[in-house]
Amino acid sequence: MEEPTETGFAAPAGSHAHHVATAALPGGCLLVATAFDELIEVWDGNTGHVLHTFDTREMVWSVAWAVLPDGDRWLAAGVQGGEVQVFDGVTGQLRWTAQDNYYVVKSARWMPLPCGRVLLACGGDGVSIRDGRTGAALHTMPIPRHLVSSVAWAAPPGGRLLLAAADVGGHVRIWDGHTAELLNIFAASAESVRSIDLAVTPDGECRLVTAADDGAVKVWHCLSGRHVMTFAGHRAPVKAVTMAVLPDGRLLGASTGKDRTVRVWDGRSGAELAQVADGGVFAEAVQWVEARTGDLVLAVAAGSGEQGPARLVRMALGPPATITGPAGDRSPGRSGP
């Protein structure tokens, strides 16, 4: 892996970002959505130009892109008060809203299906699965006593569909994404789990990665809950984690923590591969996306740093990678179109 090269946005004065979502489009364009307080800004990731600004009227806690097979580009926002809002990422039009719960939507993730349907999972005081085109609730899974901090999808071979959710009590639950049957629950940490991601390896195995307040980033066998590996590079609580699968089967993780570092590491051995300059701010979110050039791009929500509200870090990997980041990222192993 070559040394990463970094791209910052020339952001307007006062721009911030606590959350970030990125989507790769045909022709090499990247769309980047950043969220702070009640505002979402959509950027052209190649030029840094602002394309849209959305006022959600509530504190934004999560953002997620979906690039659908018919070319639609939708942006979901989970907000304070438990509402989920879905916008057309091209026109800026509000497509639909739904009252998911009465507290907060801390995490939202898309899952386009081969049949053309698209699902949206939301996590707050429980987990819901919604029809992504209409907002209709399909399944609701209560989580007793603890707030859901993060959700993630995976589509292993054989038509299976898995949905994972972590809570601030340190537990992870795995459901069948078609039926909402609970398949597994296990303790991933004695402290709060803040972020999770799922990755499907070339041999069909599903790996779960968790980031927790104890400073540990752990990789698990998704269905059995067996602990596989720990990355112990952070020296403070870890806020966010993302994982990609490379063509040769390697797992590439990236995480950010309150130690003000963004670290890239081998998801099988736990060896640290690179650090991304933090710009002097606490980066609160990270996400892998595959650029159409075949490069792997790490999007970092950079708070109010001098380089702008978000940064794109490019890593040239040779042949195009298979990415298992959120929907819209060319993620055939899990949640891409």
Tracing tokens 């209560």 back to the chain, one arrives at 142
The pLDDT value given to residue 285: 84
- Spatial neighbors of 292 by CB under 8 A, at least 6 apart, are 24, 25, 26, 27, 28
Residue 32 DSSP label: E
Whether residue 103 is contained in a domain is answered as yes
**Domain hosting residue 49, numbered range:** 5-315
The pLDDT value given to residue 303: 62
Tokens of 331: 């993620």
The pLDDT value given to residue 289: 84
Whether residue 195 is contained in a domain is answered as yes
Whether residue 286 is contained in a domain is answered as yes
Counting the structural domains of the chain, the total is 1
pLDDT tier at 69, thresholds 50, 70, 90: confident
- Spatial neighbors of 168 by CB under 8 A, at least 6 apart, are 146, 147, 149, 192, 193, 194
* Span 180-238, pLDDT tens digits: 999 999 999 999 999 999 999 999 999 999 999 999 999 999 999 999 999 999 999 99
User: For residue 283, what are the CA distances in angstroms to 156, 200, 256, 275?
Assistant: 31, 26, 6, 13
The pLDDT value given to residue 271: 94
Whether residue 325 is contained in a domain is answered as no
Pairing of strands 126-131, 5-8: unpaired
From the CB of residue 45, how many other CB atoms can be counted at a distance below 10 Å? Answer: 25
* Span 249-303, pLDDT tens digits: 889 999 999 888 899 999 999 999 988 765 556 677 888 887 766 678 888 886 6
Whether residue 179 is contained in a domain is answered as yes
The pLDDT value given to residue 320: 41
* Span 127-168, pLDDT tens digits: 999 999 999 999 999 998 899 999 999 999 999 999 999 999
DSSP 306-327: TT-SEEEEEE--SSPPBP-SST
Stated as kind and residue range, the H or E segment containing 88 is strand 83-88
Average pLDDT value for residue range 9-26: 62
HSE-CB of 264 using CA atoms within 13 angstroms: 23
Whether residue 323 is contained in a domain is answered as no
Compute the distance between CA of residue 231 and CA of residue 271 in angstroms, rounded to an integer: 7
User: For residue 36, what are the CA distances in angstroms to 45, 83, 228, 272?
Assistant: 18, 16, 35, 30
Whether residue 291 is contained in a domain is answered as yes
What CATH number does residue 253 fall under? 2.130.10.10
Kindly tell me the burial class for residue 180, based on how many C-beta atoms sit within 10 Å of its own C-beta (0-12, 13-18, 19 or more): middle
The pLDDT value given to residue 337: 25
Whether residue 330 is contained in a domain is answered as no
